[in-house]
Amino acid sequence: MRFWRLNVPNYESDYRHSYINGQLHYPFGLPGVECDVCCQTSGGCRVRSYECPEELRSHKNLAQRWPIPRSEHSLLQQQVLTALGAKGESFVDLGPGDSFQPCYLEIPSRPRADFLWLSAGVLVVSERIKGVFETICGDNAAVRPIILRKIGKREAKLPPPMPSTG
């Protein structure tokens, strides 16, 4: 069996990169944790494959995500696990800073490529490539839908419009 690595293409600038690929936003997730002793905060950046439960989306700590004390965090994790119908220990299945689905793609140009390279090594693929992954990988790849919002009207192959600030 042979393996291949996919690399992000070299773009002329960060501005060009974001113009072609856009950004993903995860509006719901667990906040960071504030230490009871030293008041330092910590949190991760994992993206979980399940959706934030509808009934918890208005919870201020899941939307604003400011660090909270560990005891409050444990209770919030249990609420989320209960709403998901999952059983788990706090700080085992869920962690500080975990993001939940859905995610939203905002992109200044019209997406035409089969691969969009977003920050932190996140790869977004077209419907066609998704089908290939599912056929080849089966259950070995977690494929989740992305909600499009704020999609630009210009073609990605055109030069990005330069803002007045340069």
Residue 81 lies inside a defined structural domain of this protein: yes
Domain boundaries, position 39: 33-99
Residue 78 lies inside a defined structural domain of this protein: yes
Digit-by-digit pLDDT tens for the chain (166 residues) are 788 888 888 888 888 888 888 888 999 999 999 988 888 888 888 888 888 999 999 999 999 989 999 999 999 999 998 888 876 655 567 889 999 999 999 988 888 888 888 766 678 888 888 888 888 888 887 788 899 888 888 877 666 666 666 5
Cβ neighbors of 51 (< 8 A, separation 6 or more) are 100, 101, 102
Residue 87 lies inside a defined structural domain of this protein: yes
The answer to whether residues 62 and 48 belong to one domain is yes
Model confidence pLDDT, tens digit, residues 94-119: 889 999 999 999 988 888 888 888 76
pLDDT at 9: 83
Residue 164 lies inside a defined structural domain of this protein: no
The string of DSSP letters for 18-30 reads: HHHH-EEE---B-
Residues forming a β-bridge with 146: 103
The answer to whether residues 54 and 89 belong to one domain is yes
Half-sphere exposure of 119 (CA within 13 A, CB side): 14
**Total tally of structural domains belonging to the chain:** 2
The answer to whether residues 92 and 53 belong to one domain is yes
pLDDT at 121: 62
pLDDT at 58: 94
The answer to whether residues 109 and 131 belong to one domain is yes
The answer to whether residues 106 and 150 belong to one domain is yes
DSSP 114: S
The answer to whether residues 49 and 73 belong to one domain is yes
Residue 8 lies inside a defined structural domain of this protein: no
Residue 128 lies inside a defined structural domain of this protein: yes
* CA proximity to 102, closest of 156, 10, 26, 158: 26
Contact 115, 124 (CB under 8 A): yes
What is the rounded distance in angstroms from the CA atom of residue 109 to the CA atom of residue 99?
26
The answer to whether residues 43 and 75 belong to one domain is yes
The answer to whether residues 94 and 37 belong to one domain is yes
The answer to whether residues 62 and 120 belong to one domain is no
The answer to whether residues 53 and 93 belong to one domain is yes
